[in-house]
Structure 1
């Protein structure tokens, strides 16, 4: 059995992260036609289709999804081996701003793993609302949440980390009297998701009230655990023990949300660029 070509795997990962062959092409410093040819070779090597191409871009087949998991590991190991042999280290201080909707239960573990793997890389992490991350660039790398319908194309330089569905959730112990107003647990009005929730509910006949406003997702989790109301959260931000809530009220369906790493700033250092792509591999 012939080994995988790392260049081909890198191209597949780039497509998975950007969502299209055209967006992946500049990431791997190739033309779109060359990217297409690389995927053809990789599919021929595997004997399986890895991508489904459509008008909105390219998506992974089940085989492609499995291969991307292995590809990221192989590419990370290759980079680690190169740095070890050449004595090149990721070293320095770097400021990371991240929305607290992004995998709150596992992000600290991931950052801890990075610190152990790269002990000379000092990440200074700030948790902020996505709007602040988008508008204030007093950091080196930003991880933000947006709605896929936002006016931002794949070609804007962002690295897409993936989409997640939104769901209405509450504690299984939450007791709701349908004769009362539905109590909501939300973040402050500056939160784009909170504004979407209110705007969507106002288009229905549901009778609701804001029962608790938390300053962050951790506080929202505590309010949910206390049974103070119902929240709308993305999949990775739903805390353990919560249940999907409907109670026959016909709560409106909500759109998916998308997480991405912001594009580089002018004059970005080589260290920041390398860490950005490292984070993309770890977070996607």
Structure 2
């Protein structure tokens, strides 16, 4: 003889089905919310160009539903837009020089480390005698390039703008073509280039410091989580 539910049991089943349905709806809602999350990351294009893909892979593994939008910008713009809501996490660079230090926003910063800067050129590049130093630069909006040109002016070193690239990738191509000399931090120097300062009397360059700009007030927890991943793997 088969078992049957009591009247109380039948009422309990009805409630249980409603609870399970609500649970499924809640899970779907949370999944949809997670899927719609988007994180905007602004990075100075001087920062370890070859290391970033691996970092993005780690972020994707830990936050599989997160949509990551990455914009390469100059540090001055990143600092200027720190609290405007233009991006969620910003990674900028400044020159460690008392007189020329780039302006940085106040607040708590996560220092990622420092790198030496070098005058660099393609390994095959030769500067003819008596020729002004041919410079490969980024646009005038780049604070580092303004700093470099001011240093050359103050040291009375003759130079000419041989090529103006729109980004680090373009600057690397110009270096590989042997168009001239550029100023780069150590991790941004391509394998085909080498320090050039020992070829002539160029002014000594200071170090570059990289940091995560201060978080905005009320930052979502998932943004803080990504910030910690960046701080851990980039320091």
Distance 2:104 2:145 in 1: 21
Q: Which of 90, 98, 119 pairs up with 1:142? A: 90
Name the CA shift for 1:259/1:196 in 2 (closer, same or farther; >3 Å). same
After superposition, what is the alpha-carbon deviation per residue over 1:131-183, rounded to whole angstroms, capped at 9, x for unaligned?
11111230100001112344669x82110000111001100111210211110
Q: Which is further off, 205-214 or 270-279?
A: 270-279
Distance 1:109 1:271 in 2: 19
1:268 is matched with 219
1:210 is matched with 161
Corresponding position: 1:219 with 2:164: no
After superposition, what is the alpha-carbon deviation per residue over 1:224-270, rounded to whole angstroms, capped at 9, x for unaligned?
00000001100110011211113642110011111000111122112
Distance 1:152 1:181 in 2: 33
Which runs of 5 or more residues in structure 1 are unaligned? Answer: 1-89
Tell me if the contact between 1:105 and 1:239 (Cα under 8 Å) persists in the aligned partners: no
Matching of residues 85-234 of structure 1 within 5 Å: 92-136=37-81, 137=84, 138-148=86-96, 149=98, 150=101, 156-234=107-185
Tell me if the contact between 2:107 and 2:214 (Cα under 8 Å) persists in the aligned partners: yes
1:112 Cα deviation after fit: 2.3
Name the CA shift for 1:159/1:268 in 2 (closer, same or farther; >3 Å). same
Q: Which of 157, 172, 195 pairs up with 1:244? A: 195
After superposition, what is the alpha-carbon deviation per residue over 1:73-93, rounded to whole angstroms, capped at 9, x for unaligned?
xxxxxxxxxxxxxxxxx8732
Which runs of 5 or more residues in structure 2 are unaligned? Answer: 1-33
1:57 is matched with none
User: Please, what TM-score do these two structures have when normalized by structure 1?
Assistant: 0.64
User: Please, what TM-score do these two structures have when normalized by structure 2?
Assistant: 0.77
Q: Which has the higher contact order (CA 8 A, sep 6+)?
A: 2
Matched position secondary structure for 2:197: coil
1:253 is matched with 204
Matched position secondary structure for 1:111: helix
Distance 1:180 1:275 in 2: 49
Which structure: larger Rg? Answer: 2
Matched position secondary structure for 1:202: helix
Distance 1:146 1:170 in 2: 22
- Could you say what the CA RMSD is over the residues aligned between the two structures, in angstroms? 1.9
Q: Which is further off, 141-150 or 250-259?
A: 141-150
